[in-house]
Structures are given as structure tokens and as C-alpha cells.
Amino acid sequence: MKFLINLAIMFFLLINIFTANTQSLIQTSCKKAAARDPKLRLDFCIKSLEGHQRSKTAQSLGELATASMKNAGMRSRSLEAKADKILEEKDYGKNSVLGMVIKDCAMIYKDNAVTLKEAVTSVRVRDYKTAIFVMSSALNATRFCETRFETKDPPRISPFTRDNEFLTQMILIPLDFTKMLK
């Protein structure tokens, strides 16, 4: 019986050490990344990573980078679905400018998800230059979606503004982590 109690205590201590190390990795990595990139919000970085299981189990900066890429890819897919839903719910004519812009954004989100998968592969084989390049293109594409609404005559209000800000931060996290790995 005493053996089982000791075993349970050891297991509990190991779990606490593992969790503390992961939280420390997340906080340390986010602090370093935010210090290097003024666009990255420290609080967002920590909260978003601590809120995802993949990030919680990361043992290294590389694993944290790939986990955050996957999170951003999932977010891109959900935004693609949101854009498709908007297109289904509202009847935009064939030549509707707003409909075309929303379709463009849906395509951007779809491409971002694929691009971020490519970045994961690049980081795994330590091809950081390619990973940084493709994540930068995903970041620029997300910003382009927002710009398409702003540059219309008359300017339109994007239904994705808040989502794009969120996605931008989600892409900045692995981008900055990968730059730290380089």
C-alpha cells in the first residue's frame, strides 16, 4: 500500500514538473518573441498558446512553433468556412464587388491553411528560411484580405476585421518563434 502511495506522489510531482516546464517554455518564448517583434502582443501569445493542447505538450521551441502553426492553420480553415457561410447566406449577384472580395478572402484563408502546413514541414526538416518565407506570405495575404475592403470605392466594412487581427497574431507567433530558431 505504501508503494502505491509513493508511486501516486511521484506521478503527481512529475505531472506538475512537466506542466511547469511547458508553461515556462511558453512564457519565456513569448517574452523573447514579443521583445523582438513590437507587433506581437505578449498577452495574446501566452493566452493563445496556453489555451491549446498541442502547445501545452511542446518540449522545445521548435515543437511550440509547429504547434502554433497548426493552430493558425485551423483558424484559417474556420475563417474560410465563415466566408463561405456569408456567401451562402447573402445573395450576391454575379458582378457583386463585395461578393468577389469575400470570395477572394475565402481563397486566401484556404491557401493560408495549406501554406501553414508547408511551414510545419519546413520547420521539422529545419528549413527555417522556407518556413519564414511561407509564413510571411500567409501573413501578407491575411492583411491583403482586409485591404481589399478598405480600397473599394466606396470603402466597405470588412466582416473579417476582428478575425484578421486575431489570425495575424496567430501567424506572428510561429513566425517569430521560427526566426528565433534560425
Can you give the residue ranges of every domain in the chain? 2-181
Chain-centroid distance, C-alpha 173: 7
pLDDT value at position 92?
A: 76
Q: How far is the C-alpha of 142 from the C-alpha of 105, rounded, in Å? A: 8
Closest by CA to 117, choosing from 87, 167, 82, 76, is: 76
Task: Tell whether the model's pLDDT for residue 6 goes beyond 60.
Answer: no
- Residue 14, judged by CB atoms within 10 A of its CB (0-12, 13-18, 19+), counts as exposed
Task: Tell whether the model's pLDDT for residue 45 goes beyond 90.
Answer: yes
pLDDT value at position 73?
A: 97
The mean-pLDDT minimum among 20-29, 81-90, 116-125, 154-163 falls in: 20-29
Q: Which residue has the cell 472580395?
A: 101
pLDDT value at position 65?
A: 97
Residue 154 pLDDT class (50, 70, 90 cuts):
confident
pLDDT value at position 10?
A: 52
pLDDT value at position 18?
A: 44
- Architecture in CATH of 2-181: Up-down Bundle (1.20)
pLDDT value at position 91?
A: 77
Which cell numbers in the block locate residue 163? 478575425
Can you state the percent helix, strand and coil of the chain, rounding each to 5?
Answer: 80, 0, 20
Side chain identity at residue 146, one-letter code: E
Task: Tell whether the model's pLDDT for residue 14 goes beyond 60.
Answer: no
CA dihedral 49, 53, 55, 56 (to 10 degrees): 100
The string of DSSP codes covering 1-44 is -HHHHHHHHHHHHHHHHHHHHHHHHHHHHHHHHHHH-TTS-HHH
Residue 19 pLDDT class (50, 70, 90 cuts):
very low
CB neighbour list of residue 179: distance below 8 Å, 6 or more residues apart: 36, 128, 132
Task: Tell whether the model's pLDDT for residue 152 goes beyond 90.
Answer: no
**In whole numbers, what is the pLDDT of the chain averaged over residues?**
89
pLDDT value at position 90?
A: 83
Per-residue pLDDT of 98-109, as tens digits, reads 899 999 999 999
